[in-house]
A = this chain, B = another copy of it.
């Protein structure tokens, strides 16, 4: 069928989408999400069809991507016919029906996802089916390999390459900024890519960006590594696992994360990691709620690593409260720097040297934790961080007071006397985001108390920082609605957790950082 081109001035995130009139679609025998092949001169392209009743007959609407690929302009004529669906749609259907997919089937799906031949409807169904049916270790291995194959790689010669990853979920977790310099100061190579916050108040890339640029290319990363053995950069624009970026677009609205393991491991593989420590913070308000769950996940990480030729160990860490006292990019960068200067909170320091110690022992050293502590105590890690900052283009002489914090602030005090019995991670994250984090880098929360501390009525609990007054006001209002921190003098206060029906909506928040 011959149709005249209309150009639509929109893009579809790389997806080849065209619009057809309902009657033309009928003549071609195609329905929602069916594919058509478009021929123009010597170029051919298979596109996904949107069917419209108002779009004029005899025309075909081309999204930006399609025009560019066909090199066709408005008013010209193209030849159109029904095309087969890509084979991957059959495999997606098989997954919906609970089948285990074979390696070549998964490769086909991932390739078609990256090449945007899969519609949103099919992609969503695939992610949902993967979540509900789960995936076998063979499937996870194939997914990981396919994600690595369709992405870019950092090829560096120095071996071994060490790496660290946290599955996230704890506000204020700036461990990476302390750990990477410790490991690099010991002479090891650790090219660390980090995520930005999607639903949390700060990702490590957001924190590090307060100290220096993190938007480096693979070539720039290589240069940094050759100088200082380490980097802390944003991994999101490196195209290490482009399939994952497309899966996130679906996982985020559905609040499910069935590709967690392939997503993490494929990126570690792309960076060439040989030894990886994975942090699994565990707590009632964290991503992983129980020790049992953490063990299950750890087993899978270790097995998947083995299959990809990586040595992995996991650390189950205390996730019942924020790490350190600071939440929000700038507040956290400050706290990380303080910790490297020997003046940081104990829990953060302890976590960083524990994880660094595990890495040291994985590569054959004895008493890794002791070694890590010494490097930190001697100021070698601080020096290394300053080297990294300089190599990435920041100011290596940066002082604590150089880091700007939001000028608007509000102090929240204890309404009664007692012991701190809980600090709600999700509420703290919600509050910090409401104050403006991570976009406003100076916004966030600075805690004055941690679990087990004893406060008197009127004592400071935490300070909210914001860059804009309106944001501060919103955060203060939210504080009044939430019970962020629980104080109790009496065990009897704790027995009734909640009464149902309740007036407040029990929202399950979804923690996504990549």
Give me the interface of A with B, judged by CB distance under 8 Å: 8-11, 13, 19, 26-27, 29, 31-34, 50, 52-55, 61, 64, 89-90, 92-93, 96, 98, 119-125, 127-129, 131-133, 198, 248-250, 252-256, 433, 439, 507-508
Besides A11-B52, A120-B121, 14 more A-B contacts (Cβ < 8 Å) are A8-B9, A10-B19, A10-B55, A32-B249, A93-B256, A93-B508, A96-B131, A119-B253, A121-B123, A124-B124, A124-B128, A125-B128, A125-B254, A132-B133
Please determine whether B120 and A120 come into contact, CB atoms closer than 8 angstroms: yes
Query: What residues of chain B lie closer than 8 Å to A13, measured between beta carbons?
Result: 50, 52
CB distance from A28 to the nearest CB of B (A): 10
With contacts A27-B439, A64-B54, A128-B124 known, is A252 near B32, CB below 8 A?
A: yes
Query: What residues of chain B lie closer than 8 Å to A439, measured between beta carbons?
Result: 26-27, 29
CB distance from A287 to the nearest CB of B (A): 15
Query: What residues of chain B lie closer than 8 Å to A32, measured between beta carbons?
Result: 248-250, 252-253
Please determine whether B96 and A254 come into contact, CB atoms closer than 8 angstroms: yes
With contacts A9-B8, A19-B10 known, is A120 near B129, CB below 8 A?
A: no
Please determine whether A120 and B124 come into contact, CB atoms closer than 8 angstroms: yes
Please determine whether B98 and A10 come into contact, CB atoms closer than 8 angstroms: no
Please determine whether A89 and B253 come into contact, CB atoms closer than 8 angstroms: yes
A245 vs B35: C-alpha distance when bound (angstroms):
20
Q: Which residue of B8, B31, B34, B252 contacts A10 across the interface (Cβ within 8 Å)? A: B8
Q: Report 23 cross-chain contacts, Cβ distance below 8 Å, ordered by A residue.
A: A8-B8, A8-B10, A10-B19, A10-B50, A13-B52, A27-B439, A31-B252, A32-B252, A33-B252, A34-B253, A90-B507, A96-B128, A96-B132, A120-B120, A121-B124, A121-B253, A121-B254, A124-B125, A125-B254, A128-B128, A128-B129, A132-B132, A132-B133
A252 vs B9: C-alpha distance when bound (angstroms):
28
A121 vs B64: C-alpha distance when bound (angstroms):
22
With contacts A52-B10, A52-B11 known, is A254 near B93, CB below 8 A?
A: yes
A50 vs B119: C-alpha distance when bound (angstroms):
15
A131 vs B93: C-alpha distance when bound (angstroms):
11
Query: What residues of chain B lie closer than 8 Å to A29, measured between beta carbons?
Result: 433, 439
CB distance from A53 to the nearest CB of B (A): 8
Please determine whether B52 and A132 come into contact, CB atoms closer than 8 angstroms: no
Query: What residues of chain B lie closer than 8 Å to A119, measured between beta carbons?
Result: 253
CB distance from A13 to the nearest CB of B (A): 8
CB distance from A186 to the nearest CB of B (A): 38
CB distance from A284 to the nearest CB of B (A): 18
Query: What residues of chain B lie closer than 8 Å to A31, measured between beta carbons?
Result: 198, 252-253
Query: What residues of chain B lie closer than 8 Å to A54, measured between beta carbons?
Result: 11, 64
Query: What residues of chain B lie closer than 8 Å to A122, measured between beta carbons?
Result: 124, 253-254
A93 vs B433: C-alpha distance when bound (angstroms):
23
A89 vs B254: C-alpha distance when bound (angstroms):
8
Return the chain B residue nearest A122 by Cβ: B253
Q: Which residue of B52, B55, B256, B507 contacts A96 across the interface (Cβ within 8 Å)? A: B256
A32 vs B127: C-alpha distance when bound (angstroms):
15
Query: What residues of chain B lie closer than 8 Å to A253, measured between beta carbons?
Result: 31-34, 89, 119, 121-122
CB distance from A94 to the nearest CB of B (A): 9
